[in-house]
Amino acid sequence: MTQQITSLINSGALFVANHSGGKDSMACLEALLSAGIPKANIIVVHASLGAMEWAGALEKAQEHAEHHGLQFFVAQASKSLFDMVERKFQRDPSVVSWPTAAQRQCTSDLKRDPIATLVRRYASANGYQVIVNCLGIRGQESTARKLRPAFSVNNRETNSKRQVFEWLPIHDMLIDEVWAVIAKSGVARHYAYDLGNERLSCVYCIMGSANDCRNGYKHNPELFSQYVALERKTGYTMHQSKKSLVEIVFGVAQPDALAA
């Protein structure tokens, strides 16, 4: 833990634990508690993605927060992923309708911005002028994440009324360490991991592995059909690989079972 974090703890800053219900979010929250941050200065926030996320993700985040006696909040966007895709398609069918790895509107519009709005209101109502936004992002996951600073100023949210920082408490943590932390937490991991998932959040993520997409189909076939229908309507694929979800799951563009 850096001297900057120690100073922020001692100054009484508000620490916001972003919690998807997944393993890295769980490890992140445990790291905050291990850092000695008073529980009164921690809030846990889950950005609800509705039907797009694994059932029980919100409840897992809430369970984890309540297990430690922490305040829990749910941030909700005014639109869904499907709403976003439909509106973009209607505005201009020549433009890719789905979020991409370079333009992750699903993250910004459905997670980051609703959480930021909720946190601003909470901070204002409770007299906090310094906020530390904490994310369960690990460098082991990708080159981009490895290069991301573990601590930085959030220039987007910082202004004359408040200072906002971003902290990645588990940036250097390896996957085995994550599971070890969760095993000691007193809260079981989300059941999707026991079904074979590698990551947790959206059932079908634009950056999800083929394994997780297949697992999503196995356990959420109705949602799969909705994604496929919207891919076909827009003429664009939802996955960063530019393969259709059908091709990712079945290995062919149009299996007999899903032929139009």
Quick one: average pLDDT of 170-186?
A: 97
3-state secondary structure 134-182: ECCCCHHHCHHHHHCCCEEECCCCCCCCCEEEEECCCCCCCHHHHHHHH
Residue bearing the bigger pLDDT, 238 or 255:
238
Q: Which of 65, 72, 98, 95 is nearest to 202 (CA)?
A: 98
pLDDT in tens, 79-96: 999 999 999 999 999 999
- Structural domain boundaries of the chain? 3-197, 203-260
pLDDT in tens, 29-55: 999 999 999 999 999 999 999 999 999
DSSP 3-state assignment of 72? Answer: strand
Please report the pLDDT score of residue 86 as a whole number. Answer: 97
Q: How far apart are CA 7 and CA 152, in angstroms?
A: 14
Please give the full DSSP string across 73-92, using - where no structure is assigned: EEEE-SS-HHHHHHHHHHH-
pLDDT in tens, 129-144: 999 999 999 998 888 8
pTM of the predicted structure, to 2 decimals: 0.93
Sign of CA dihedral 42, 40, 2, 180: negative
Evaluate whether the domain defined by 3-197 bears CATH number 3.40.50.150.
no
Q: How far apart are CA 136 and CA 26, in angstroms?
A: 8
